[in-house]
Structure 1
Amino acid sequence: METLLSRRAFSFFLLYIFTFYDLSLSFSPVDNYLVNCGASLDSTVDNRRFVSDSSDSSNSHLLSSAQTFSLCAGTILLGLPQIYHTARVFKAPSKYVFDVKDPGMHMVRLHLHQFSSSKLNLGDSQFHVLVNGLVALTNFSGGNLVGPKVLEYLLWVNSKKLEVTFVPAKKSKFAFVNAIEVISAPKDLILETAQSVNGDKVENFDGLNKQAFEVVYRVTVGGPKVTPFNDSLWRTWVPDDEYLKSSEGSTKVYFAGRIKYQDGGASREVGPDNVYDSARLIQSKNASIPKLNLTWEFPVIEDYKYLVRMHFCDIASIALGLLVFNVYVNGHLAYKDLDLSAVTNYLLASPFYADFVVDADHSGVVTVSVGPSNKSMAYTVDAILNGVEIMKMNNSVGSLDGKLPAELVLKCWPRRSVGILLPLIALVCLLLSLSAIMRRRKDKVDSVPWSKLPVDIPEISPNQGKQQLSSKV
C-alpha cells in the first residue's frame, strides 16, 4: 500500500514538474495592453484581464479624446464575452497612446461588435482607423458587422509610443471600438526573408519583418476550430472546409502524440499544437501514386501583395524519408520536392513552415496546393498540409485599406475649428465697427466743435451803433 501511494505521489510530482515547465516556457510579452473600451470595470476573457479605459481607471491616460463617451448595450448579449457589451464612441478624431518598451514587431487587435442602445445604434457608424501612421481601415461601417469581429494587424514599431487613431468619416458619423490589444510579438513570428513567387520565378523577398500586415485568414487544416484559449498568442484558427476546393482524394488525420518543437524551427508561437496535430493528406493506397493536388482558395483584394504561410508537420508517416511532395501558390510551383524529414533534422511530428509572397491577380483569389512530386513513393503519404495563414501587406502609400496615405485620411475630417473661427472673426469685426460708430456719435453730442468766424459780416460805424442801441432802448 505504501509503495502504491509513493508511486502515485511520484506521478503527481512529475505531472507538476512538466506543467510548471510548460508554463515557464509560455510566451510572456513585454508590451501587453488589453483595454476594455467604454467599460467602468475590468473584464476577463480566456484568462486574460482587459482593463477598463474609464476616467477613474489607472490606464485612463492611454485615451486622448475631446469628444468621446461610453456606451452599453441596451439588452443582455447572451453568450458573448463582457468586452462586447460596451463600446467607446468617438465623435471627433481620437486616439489611444501606448508606451512601447520592447521595439520590434507588435500585434494590434481591434474588437468590434455593433449593438443598439437608447442613445445610439453602432450600426450607423462609419470611420477610419490609423495605427502609427499606417492606414488600417477606411470608411468602415458598423452596419456590415454580423457578430463580433477581430481585426488583427502586425507592424514593426521603432518609436517609444504606439498610437491607434479613430477618425469619423463625416461630421454626421462616429467611430467606435469595443476592445483593443497591443502586444509585442515573438521575435521569430515574422522573419526577415521569404520566397517571392512571381510566375515560375522564385526569389528572395528581403525586409519582410519591416512590413505591415493584416491577418486575413488563419486556417487549421483537417481539424476543429482552435480558440484563443488554446493558442499561446491568443489567436483563432478556423476549419478549412469552407476554403477547400475539393475534398476528393484527401484524408483527414489526427495525431495524439507530442508535437516536437525544435530550436530554430517553428515554435508554439508560430503555430500551436492544435494546428500541427491535424492535417489533410494525399495517400497512395496501392502501387500507383494519385495524380491529384489538394487546393484551397481564399478570396482577396487585388493590387496588394500577400504573405502566404503554409504549416507542415509529418504526423502520418510510419518512417522517416517517405514524405516528399510539391507545394504550389497561385498555381505556380513554389517549393519543389519538399522533404519534411530533411528540413526537420530527420524527426517525425516536428513542425515546419514556409513563407511565400505573392501578388493578388485579377482572379480575386489566392490559391495554395500540395501534391505528389516525381520523388513521391507508392504506399506512402504523398502530400500533407496542416495549416494556412494569409496576410495582406501594406501598399506603397502605407495603407492596408485603400490608396490614400494617413495624412490625407486625417484631412478628410472637416475641422470644426475652421468653421467656427470665420463667423467668429466676422462677428468681432462687426461689433468693433458698431462700437466705433456709437463712440463718434456720442463725441458729437458732448463736445462743441470749433469753427472759423465768418469774414463777410458788414462793418458798423460808431454812429450807426448808437442809433441801433437808442432805438432798442
Structure 2
Amino acid sequence: MEAFPKLDPRSFLLLCACALPALALSFPFSPLDNYLLNCGSSVDAVVDNRAFLGDAPGSGGSRVLASTRTISLNDASPALGTPQIYHTARAFARPSKYVFEVRDRGTHMVRLHFHRFDSSRVELGDVRFHVLVDGYVVLSNFSGESASRPVIKEYLIWVDAEKLLVDGGKLVNFNGLNRQALEVSYRVSVGGPKVTPFNDSLWRTWVPDDAYLKSTYGSERVLFGGRIKYQEGGASREVGPDNMYNSARVIKSTNATVPNINMTWVFPVTGDYKYLVRLHFCDIASISLELLYFNVYVNGFLVSKDFDLSRVANEVLAAPFYADFIVEGDNSGILSVSIGPSNYSFAHAIDGILNGVEIMKLNNSMGSLDGEVCGGFILKSWPRGNMGVVVPLVAVICLLLSISVVMRWRTTGVSQTVAWTKLPTDMTELSLKQARQQFR
C-alpha cells in the first residue's frame, strides 16, 4: 500500500480509496465550506446554476486532489441531455484520496455521482472498488451499477475535525444520533410529482410515491396552490422544499362515518441495519384547525397515537412539521409506513395525511454502511505494488454542510408497544481509527 503523507487531523476531512467530496453552495442557504468538483476535467461545468470546478492540474479544484498516478477519462459519445459533469471521470490505480479543509464542524452532506462509460484509455470491465468517507465504509465492492444512466449516492457524515482522536489515538465515543453516518435510501414526495434539484435548496431529488404505495384504495391526492407557512423552530426549506409540502395523500371521510382504512407504503431495505424514518406532515387539506387526528405506524407498530397536527404546527394550517423514528431492519427486507384514522377522527373531515418520506440507513458497529467490513481492514488488505486494474472514480462528489435545523432530530411520542433499541454508537477501534490513520 502506498504511504500517504501525514495530515493534521484537525484541519481536514479525508476521503479515501475512490471517494471525491465537495461542498455545494446555495442561495439563501450558504454554508461556510463549499466545494463542487468536475472530476477528470480541466474546465468548469455549470449544472442547475452550480459551478463545478475541474480537478485537473492547474484547474480551480486541483488543490484538493492529494494523489498522484491518476488518469483523466473522457466520454467520446455522451448521451444526449447528460449533464456535463458526467462527460469526464478520474481513474486511480491504487488507493487515492481527495482532501478538503473543513472550517465548520457538524454534519455534512456527501453526494457521490457515478456514471460508467467506454474509454479508449482504460478498460473498465468488471472493475469494483471501495469508497471510504472519513473512515466510514460507504461503498464496498461497488461497480458503478448502471451503464446507461448516472447513479447518485448520498450520505450524512459527522465531521468533528478537532476531536477525531484523543489520548494518544483513542477514538472519541459517539454520543447521539447526530454522530452517526447515514445513507439516504429513499426520499419520496407523497401524492405529488417528482421534485428536481433545481426546486430544492439542497439540490435533492424527491421521487413520486406511486412505486411504494401498497394500494390507492381509500386515499386521495391533494395539491395545494397556497403558501407553505414555515414556522420558526419548525421545519425549514432545508428540511423539505415547498414543492414537497404542497402535495399529499389523504384519507377523507365523505359521509357520517370515519373510514376504517390505512394508507401504507412499503420500501425494500437491507436487514441487520437500523434506519431513521423521517415523516413529513403539512395540513394543506383541512378547512379548519383541530379537525385532523390520525395514527402513525412504522413496520406495523403504533409509533404515534392520535397525532394532532394542529398542535405540533403551532395552530397554523399549511405549516410543515417532521417526525423521526428509529426502526430495526429485519429478515423480511421490508420497511413499511402507514397512516390511519384514530379514535378522535371526525366524519366529513380529513382523517389522515402524509406529505413526504425519507428513509436513511445508519452505520453498523463496524462503521460501515455497506457490509460487515471496516475501513481499517480494507486499507490494510489492499495489494501492494503495481496493479493491473485501474479503479475508476466517476464524475463528481458533492459535499455540503447541513445547517443545524436539517440535523435537529425531532422526537415524538412513542407507543410502549414498540421496542426501541440503543443506537450502534460503540465503535470498535478497527472500524474508524485505523481507517483514518491510514490516510494521515
- Which has the bigger relative contact order, CA under 8 A and spacing at least 6? 2
1:131 aligns with 133
Query: Do residues 231 (structure 1) and 200 (structure 2) align?
Result: yes
1:240-279 mapped onto 2 (5 Å cutoff): 240-279=209-248
Q: How far does the alpha carbon of each residue in 1:227-260 deviate from its partner, in whole angstroms, 9 at most, with x for none?
A: 1110011100000000001011110000000000
1:28 aligns with 30
1:322 aligns with 291
Amino acid at match of 2:285: A
- Which residue of 83, 86, 90 corresponds with 1:84? 86
Give ranges in structure 1 of 5+ residues lacking alignment.
1-22, 163-205, 419-473
Query: Do residues 153 (structure 1) and 155 (structure 2) align?
Result: yes
Q: Which whole-Å CA distance do the structure 2 matches of 1:124 and 1:67 have between them? A: 21
The question of whether the paired residues in 2 share the 8 Å contact of 1:130 and 1:406 is answered with: yes
Larger Rg: 1
- Which residue of 350, 366, 369 corresponds with 1:400? 369
Give ranges in structure 2 of 5+ residues lacking alignment.
1-24, 165-174, 388-440
1:180 aligns with none
1:219 aligns with 188
Q: Which whole-Å CA distance do the structure 1 matches of 2:250 and 2:294 have between them? A: 11
Q: CA deviation at 1:310?
A: 0.3
Amino acid at match of 2:293: V
The question of whether the paired residues in 2 share the 8 Å contact of 1:295 and 1:369 is answered with: yes
1:50-69 mapped onto 2 (5 Å cutoff): 50-69=52-71
- Which residue of 74, 90, 97 corresponds with 1:95? 97
2:347 aligns with 378
Are the structure 2 counterparts of residues 24 and 262 from structure 1 closer, same or farther at C-alpha, using a change threshold of 3 Å?
Answer: farther
1:281 aligns with 250
Q: Which whole-Å CA distance do the structure 1 matches of 2:43 and 2:292 have between them? A: 53
| Aligned length, in residue pairs | 353
The question of whether the paired residues in 1 share the 8 Å contact of 2:267 and 2:334 is answered with: yes
Q: Which whole-Å CA distance do the structure 2 matches of 1:209 and 1:115 have between them? A: 37
Task: Specify which structure has the higher proportion of helix.
Answer: 1
Q: Which whole-Å CA distance do the structure 2 matches of 1:400 and 1:59 have between them? A: 28
1:416 aligns with 385
Q: Which whole-Å CA distance do the structure 1 matches of 2:386 and 2:123 have between them? A: 27
Q: What is the TM-score with the length of structure 2 in the denominator?
A: 0.78
Q: What is the TM-score with the length of structure 1 in the denominator?
A: 0.72
Are the structure 2 counterparts of residues 265 and 243 from structure 1 closer, same or farther at C-alpha, using a change threshold of 3 Å?
Answer: same
Q: CA deviation at 1:122?
A: 4.1
Are the structure 2 counterparts of residues 88 and 25 from structure 1 closer, same or farther at C-alpha, using a change threshold of 3 Å?
Answer: closer
Q: How far does the alpha carbon of each residue in 1:390-429 deviate from its partner, in whole angstroms, 9 at most, with x for none?
A: 00000011000011110001123101189xxxxxxxxxxx
2:45 aligns with 43
Q: Which whole-Å CA distance do the structure 2 matches of 1:25 and 1:337 have between them? A: 38
The question of whether the paired residues in 1 share the 8 Å contact of 2:26 and 2:202 is answered with: no
The question of whether the paired residues in 2 share the 8 Å contact of 1:114 and 1:123 is answered with: no
Amino acid at match of 1:334: V
The question of whether the paired residues in 1 share the 8 Å contact of 2:144 and 2:151 is answered with: no
- Which residue of 323, 332, 337 corresponds with 1:354? 323
Q: Which whole-Å CA distance do the structure 2 matches of 1:74 and 1:58 have between them? A: 24
